[in-house]
Amino acid sequence: KSLEDHLCTSVSYDGAMVLLMWLSA
């Protein structure tokens, strides 16, 4: 469960970073 939550958090974080880079580009 802990690992699953960590993976979800990582994916959400990576997605947010990609979105921010796309918006600022």
How does pLDDT run across 15-25, given as a tens digit for each residue?
999 999 999 98
**Residue-range domain boundaries for the chain:** 1-25
Residues in the chain: 25
Site of tokens 């699953």: 4
Q: How far apart are CA 9 and CA 4, in angstroms?
A: 9
3-state SS record for the chain:
CHHHHHHHHHHHHHHHHHHHHHHHC
pLDDT bracket for residue 8 (50, 70, 90): confident
